[in-house]
Amino acid sequence: MSNPERPIKVTVVVGSVRPGNFTSKTVAIVADELRKHPEVAVDIIHPAELNLPLPGLDPGAAGALELQRRVGEAAGVILATPEYHGSFSSVIKLAIENMGFPSALLGKPVGLLGVAAGAIGAIKSLESLRGVVSHVGGMPLPMPVSIANVQRLFDAQGNVVDPNAEALMRRTATNLLDYLEKHICPKITLERLLREGLTSMHM
C-alpha cells in the first residue's frame, strides 16, 4: 500500500537466494541511502518468497501477480544481481519473466546493480541485463554500478569495510534519486496540490 507521507516508492529486486548472500548485503546499503530521502518508501523483493512459476506454466500465479503489483506501483526500480557464469542471475531473469506482458517495468527508470567475486566486477552481467530491461520497455539508467571483490567488503555485522566501495554502492541509490527528483517528484507534488486544492474547494 502507498504511504502518503512517503509517496515515492522504489522497489528493489534481489537477484540471489543464497543464505547470507552478498547481493542482499549490498542492497541493504542501497536501501539505507534511499530511505534518507524524506518522500521515498523502499520495497525490497526477495523472489524466493513469492514462489514464482517457471515461464509459461502459470501466468496467473499469486506470486507473479504480487510481483507485478509491487513493481507496477513503483516510481523507480533497482535490479540487483550477482554475476553468474558471465551473466546476470537466473533469479533476476525469472523475476523479469513474471512481470507480465506488457512488463511492469514498462516506462519505469531502472537502476542496475551487480556484484561479483572477481576483480573486474559484474560488468558482463550488467551489459546483458541492460539489454533485457530495454527490450521489455524499462529505462535502464546510465552509470550502472558494478561491485568487485564483494566477498572482501563486509564484516560479520554487514558493515562495509571499504569506504570507496560503500560510496559506490550508495551511488546506485543517488543515481535513481537524482532521476526521480528531476522527473517524478514534480509530478507527484503537482498531483498532491491538485488533489488538496480540489478537496478544499468542496469543503
In a domain, 2, yes or no: no
| Bridge partner residues of 40 (DSSP) | 8
Instruction: Give the domain CATH number at 194.
Output: 3.40.50.360
Indicate the DSSP class of residue 3: B
In Å, what is the CA distance from 3 to each residue of 9, 40, 115, 187, 196? 8, 9, 31, 16, 16
Asked whether residue 1 is assigned to any structural domain, the reply reads no
Phi, psi of 158, deg, nearest 5: 90, 10
Taking only the tens place, the pLDDT of each residue in 70-91 is 999 999 999 999 999 999 999 9
The CA distance from 83 to 9, in Å, is 27
Bigger pLDDT: 3 vs 43:
43
Is residue 3 included in any domain, yes or no? no
Domain assignment of residue 73, given as a range: 8-201
pTM: 0.89
Stated as kind and residue range, the H or E segment containing 109 is strand 109-115
Q: Please count the structural domains in the chain.
A: 1
